[in-house]
A = this chain, B = another copy of it.
């Protein structure tokens, strides 16, 4: 039988409002008792007594057994999540940075205090990818998880490739529509998909990796030449996080733009949509698709997590306990396209193999294989105006 949940919610935006509306009309055995908000002066659509700025009203209320955390600040979110879990409350969060950065401690706290932290909403909006990796795919059988994890960059790339918009205009449109922040680096620099990737890697392979140790480079240096090059070869460029098992029980993780051909199902994932491709032994490819950005998709994942807590659902982190555990590696060769300005960069990068090289007055590129370690070490040099790097099959 389901357990009655009494909920305290931190944050009240689109998601909070939507959750409140749906919980009110459906017979879900849930009640939202209190919202803790930052700004007391803002006009709210719900009765004033539901709101407070005092976190104690939730954290100190023993009747509240479930905390839903929907605030931006990763440090504040971490502090209140830890406090809630330690005081016997279960927590639902959609804060990818907080989860990715503290996953190991958070798993240990859940273990010690017997509480549950769920965070499906932190990765790819409404797509239930964490649950599927946690429950359905054995780590021994998973070859790779890739996909489109960031709605904002994908929206920009769709505008660039399908509507011939210059990158800067597409970014501005994404910002106007609320898909991208004023400082868009988190999205277009590939940090947001990297946080999601490390969470995915934990549930796919049972490894805890600090996001700071994972290579990410974004789409913000994408130039007209790269777009022309891609179009001539019928490619699109997508920003792709990859978790892949390589030899000897090693797993590599990285986020990089990638040339995608039309046979790849990700080719047709456009705008703010997300898609996750799971390659498992024997299964060919599984594809999960849904809306990635925006309040409602995230809200639906948060709601599914809340309803699961009525049955005391928790992530078991079974794969972390596996004796033949996998380990994280950065020693892996990938094939890349690099547009560059300064010839010395190509020398420094020490390509293990150069396959194509092209020179023209306004456009120089090289295609070759290179070690992930090398581009990690030289990231700041690669990531300068005049250069653009992308994986190519």
Contact = CB atoms under 8 A, between A and B. Distances in A.
B141 A324 contact: no
A118 to B, nearest CB: 11
Contact of A297 (B284, B290, B300): B284
Query: Quick one: which of A28, A282, A287 has the most chain B CB within 10 A?
Result: A282
How many copies of this protein are present in the complex?
2
A322 B29 CA distance: 11
Contacts of A296: 282-284
24 contacts: A22-B281, A26-B140, A26-B281, A27-B140, A27-B324, A28-B138, A126-B286, A131-B136, A132-B132, A135-B308, A136-B304, A137-B304, A138-B303, A138-B307, A141-B300, A141-B304, A281-B300, A282-B299, A283-B291, A284-B296, A286-B288, A286-B290, A287-B288, A288-B288
Nearest to A321: B1
A127 interface: yes
A285 interface: yes
Residue from A265, A268, A284 whose CB has the most chain B CB atoms within 10 Å: A284
B285 A290 contact: yes
Interface in A271-297: 280-291, 296-297
Given A132-B128, A265-B289, A289-B287, A28 B140 contact: yes
A291 B279 CA distance: 12
B304 A138 contact: yes
Contacts of A28: 138, 140
A223 interface: no
A28 B139 CA distance: 10
A290 B283 contact: yes
Contacts of A141: 22, 26, 300, 303-304, 307
A88 interface: no
Contacts of A282: 18, 22, 296, 299-300, 303
Nearest to A249: B27
A50 B345 CA distance: 60
A311 interface: yes
Contacts of A135: 131, 135, 308, 313
A318 B311 contact: yes
Nearest to A137: B304
A287 B273 CA distance: 11
A280 B291 CA distance: 12
Given A135-B135, A136-B128, A283 B268 contact: no
Interface in A1-31: 1-2, 18, 22, 26-28
A343 to B, nearest CB: 44
Interface in A239-272: 265, 268
A265 B291 CA distance: 13
Given A135-B313, A283-B301, 20 more contacts: A22-B282, A126-B280, A127-B286, A128-B286, A131-B136, A135-B135, A136-B308, A141-B303, A141-B307, A268-B268, A282-B299, A283-B296, A284-B297, A284-B300, A285-B290, A286-B289, A286-B290, A287-B287, A287-B288, A289-B289
A27 B139 CA distance: 10
Contacts of A18: 282
A247 to B, nearest CB: 14
A16 to B, nearest CB: 12
A48 B242 CA distance: 43
A216 to B, nearest CB: 27
Interface in A118-154: 126-128, 131-132, 135-138, 140-141
A73 B268 CA distance: 41
Nearest to A304: B136
